[in-house]
Amino acid sequence: MRYIIAQKNKKDSIVEKLVSLCKRKGFIFQSSEIYGGLNGCYDYGPLGVELLNNIKQSWWQFMTYREDVEGLDASILMHPKVWEASGHVENFTDPMIDCKQCKARFRVDTLGESYNEKRKKKLIISLKEKLSAIPEKMEKYNMLISEENDLNDNFELLLESEFAFELLSEAACPQCGTKNSFTEPKNFNLMFKTFLGPVEDSGNTIFLRPETAQGIFVNFLNVQQATRQKLPFGIAQIGKAFRNEINTKNFLFRTREFEQMEMQYFVKPGEDQTAYDKWKELRKSWYISLGMPEDKLRFKDHPEDKLAHYAKAAVDIEYLFPFGWGEIEGIHNRTDFDLKRHEEFSGKSMKYFDDEAKEKFVPFIIETSAGASRGFFAFLTNAYNEEEVNGETRVVMKFHPQLAPIKVAIFPLVNKDGMPEIAREIENDLRPFMKVFYDSKGAVGRRYRRMDEVGTPFCITVDTQTLEDKTVTVRERDSMEQERVKIEDLLHYLLKKLK
**Ordered DSSP codes for 335-399:** ETHHHHHHHHHH----PEEETTTTEEEPPEEEEEEEEHHHHHHHHHHHHEEEEEETTEEEEEE--
Q: Pick from 106, 115, 258, 448 the residue near ligand GAP by CB under 6 A.
A: 258
Pairwise CA distance, residues 175 & 60, whole Å: 43
Pairwise CA distance, residues 379 & 232, whole Å: 31
Q: Which stretch binds ligand GAP (CB under 6 A): 156-164, 194-202, 218-226, 326-334?
A: 326-334
Nearest to 311 by CA among 279, 276, 270, 350: 276
Q: Which stretch binds ligand GAP (CB under 6 A): 180-188, 257-265, 355-363, 486-494?
A: 257-265
Residue 213 lies near ligand GAP (rule: CB under 6 A): yes
Chain positions 480 to 499 lying near ligand GAP, rule: CB under 6 A, are none
Residue 245 lies near ligand GAP (rule: CB under 6 A): yes
Tell the smallest beta-carbon distance from residue 74 to ligand GAP (Å).
13
Q: Which stretch binds ligand GAP (CB under 6 A): 27-35, 75-83, 92-100, 258-266?
A: 258-266
**Ordered DSSP codes for 424-469:** HHHHHHHTTTS-EEE--SS-HHHHHHHHHHTT-SEEEEE-HHHHHH
Residue 328 lies near ligand GAP (rule: CB under 6 A): yes
Residue 371 lies near ligand GAP (rule: CB under 6 A): yes
Pick the closer one to ligand GAP by CB: 328 or 462.
328
Q: Which stretch binds ligand GAP (CB under 6 A): 51-59, 105-113, 176-184, 327-335?
A: 327-335
Pick the closer one to ligand GAP by CB: 367 or 463.
367
Pairwise CA distance, residues 415 & 421, whole Å: 9
Q: What is the dihedral of CA 165, 170, 171, 176, to 10 degrees?
A: 110
Q: Pick from 374, 400, 407, 447 the residue near ligand GAP by CB under 6 A.
A: 374
Residue 461 lies near ligand GAP (rule: CB under 6 A): no
Indicate the angle between helix axes 372-383 and 11-25, nearest 10 degrees.
Answer: 110
Residue 54 lies near ligand GAP (rule: CB under 6 A): no
Tell the smallest beta-carbon distance from residue 104 to ligand GAP (Å).
20
Q: What is the dihedral of CA 50, 52, 57, 63, to 10 degrees?
A: 170
Pick the closer one to ligand GAP by CB: 243 or 407.
243
Tell the smallest beta-carbon distance from residue 252 to ligand GAP (Å).
7
Burial of 481 (0-12, 13-18, 19+ CB in 10 A): exposed
Residue 243 lies near ligand GAP (rule: CB under 6 A): yes
Per the CB < 8 A criterion, the answer to whether 499 and 465 are in contact is no
Which amino acid, one-letter code, is at 4?
A: I
Pairwise CA distance, residues 53 & 308, whole Å: 30
Residue 369 lies near ligand GAP (rule: CB under 6 A): yes
Indicate the angle between helix axes 46-64 and 272-289, nearest 10 degrees.
Answer: 140
Question: How many Cα atoms sit within 13 Å of 159 on the Cβ side?
Answer: 23
Q: Which stretch binds ligand GAP (CB under 6 A): 5-13, 254-262, 386-394, 435-443?
A: 254-262
Tell the smallest beta-carbon distance from residue 383 to ligand GAP (Å).
18
Measured from each CB, the residue nearest to ligand GAP is 371
User: How do strand 69-71 and strand 105-107 relate by DSSP bridges?
Assistant: unpaired
User: How do strand 297-301 and strand 313-321 relate by DSSP bridges?
Assistant: antiparallel
Count interface residues toward ligand GAP (CB under 6 A): 19
Q: Which stretch binds ligand GAP (CB under 6 A): 61-69, 250-258, 265-273, 474-482?
A: 250-258
Tell the smallest beta-carbon distance from residue 11 to ligand GAP (Å).
21
Pick the closer one to ligand GAP by CB: 246 or 410.
246
Give the footprint of ligand GAP on this chain (CB under 6 A).
Answer: 211, 213, 243, 245, 254-255, 258, 260, 262, 327-330, 367, 369-371, 373-374
